[in-house]
Structure 1
């Protein structure tokens, strides 16, 4: 049985229902990507699974427990989330920002222990940001900053990491750098990674499992062969897609597409 899953999850804002009775299972120690058009409920779903917002009905179950009843610090030792637009880190050094990932392990005095400092340096090492430790976060490039935010999540030492569009605002090289880092965290450390991505070919290349949403409901969930498919993309994005093969991975990829008109 999956460690993390939802049962009939419905999420909305006021009277507007965004996600409707959604039941999904997140594969353990795999990379799961959520795709779909703007406004389909991708980010809303992530926020509900990580308890940032409360669902109107349904449950999120982690390790057999309803997360709505879980102790906050205990939950923060199991899952970390990097939002689409992280809060400003103005005035902080990289090391100071990454130290915030140790919050779930701090006692009432809020002092960092030797173990905390070891975890911070380890997170900086595995994300390739150790050289920036004493630099202001504001002085870094977009790609460097994104890796530092991921380092903060890594320092939290959770088995599951959620990321909402981690490649937004990054150029192609920095997008690849971030995705390869997440892939290494998955393959080398067994972290479960769940992220929202807009780029279909990035989803196909890096994800083991893809969930395609439309209007808050699942159109298709499965591996990239099952989801990066003409019929699925037509229904989800209303496009006429030409599906080919990535010459480097042999996975399906969207070569080109047209909008479908008149239907």
Structure 2
């Protein structure tokens, strides 16, 4: 089942096209990972799909409707995004930050309702951040902060969550912690997760569906067996990769690689 897809999408800045004639689908209730070299259009695609930026032509459809014509609050109840570098939360407590996720549901003077407080507490509990509720966000570790930002996205109560490089600046343990949390949200709550990752082995391990981009175009889209291959990685990253098997998951993994140098 597919609720969200793009059709012949073109996105650019000025006269320079970053994403070109792109038609991709994001499977519902699955984890989709977008991979590709820096500047290939991964983050641009996420921003356009969540209407942070506009697109030049083509269309992005959710539940059969153009997102460009959707009411902002209605759209914010369907999808949430965690950007690559979330804005500073200096001076805010964890509970205050997570409460911002309730904005799409607020009316009048924007006061939080009993339901809002219940959802905030639920989001904190699910992400394992309840103990930090009254602590300043900027007093937390990188992994803790990232979980708090995810809690804010969860408080939005959306079916679809976009994350742009959610493991950036985190050490190996915290990267795994965040990815396992997202996997849990997908498996236990049926959340559709769409994220950009740089680590190919993390993409293979956690994604149900992978979209490989190069210069704003799809090179290959499919499951990890189809995308994490010598030929696809050669075309996307210009590397000569040795593909093996993850001894714990049995999924393909990039064991080592060399750069393919030009003439």
TM-score normalised to the size of structure 1?
A: 0.99
- Partner in structure 1 of residue 4 of structure 2: 4
- Partner in structure 1 of residue 205 of structure 2: 205
- Partner in structure 2 of residue 220 of structure 1: 220
Q: How far apart are the structure 2 equivalents of 1:105 and 1:111?
A: 10
- Partner in structure 2 of residue 194 of structure 1: 194
Shift of 1:261: 1.1
**Following superposition of structure 1 onto structure 2, how do residues 160-175 of structure 1 map, counting pairs within 5 Å?**
160-175=160-175
- Partner in structure 1 of residue 255 of structure 2: 255
Q: How far apart are the structure 2 equivalents of 1:158 and 1:123?
A: 12
Indicate the SS of the match to 1:6.
strand
Does 1:110 pair with 2:110? yes
Q: Please, which runs of 5 or more residues in structure 1 have no aligned partner? A: none
Shift of 1:262: 2.5
Q: How many residues align?
A: 263
Q: 1:23-74 CA deviation, whole Å, 9 max, x = no partner?
A: 0111000000000000000000000000000000011000110000000000
Indicate the SS of the match to 1:96.
helix
Q: How far apart are the structure 1 equivalents of 2:262 and 2:190?
A: 46
Q: How far apart are the structure 1 equivalents of 2:2 and 2:163?
A: 19
Q: Please, which runs of 5 or more residues in structure 2 have no aligned partner? A: none
In the TM superposition, structure 1's runs of 4+ consecutive aligned residues that sit over 4 Å from their partners are none
Q: 1:198-243 CA deviation, whole Å, 9 max, x = no partner?
A: 0000000000000000000000000000000000000000000000
Q: How far apart are the structure 2 equivalents of 1:54 and 1:261?
A: 37
Does 1:47 pair with 2:47? yes
- Partner in structure 2 of residue 123 of structure 1: 123
- Partner in structure 1 of residue 96 of structure 2: 96
Q: How far apart are the structure 2 equivalents of 1:100 and 1:57?
A: 32
Q: How far apart are the structure 1 equivalents of 2:194 and 2:150?
A: 13
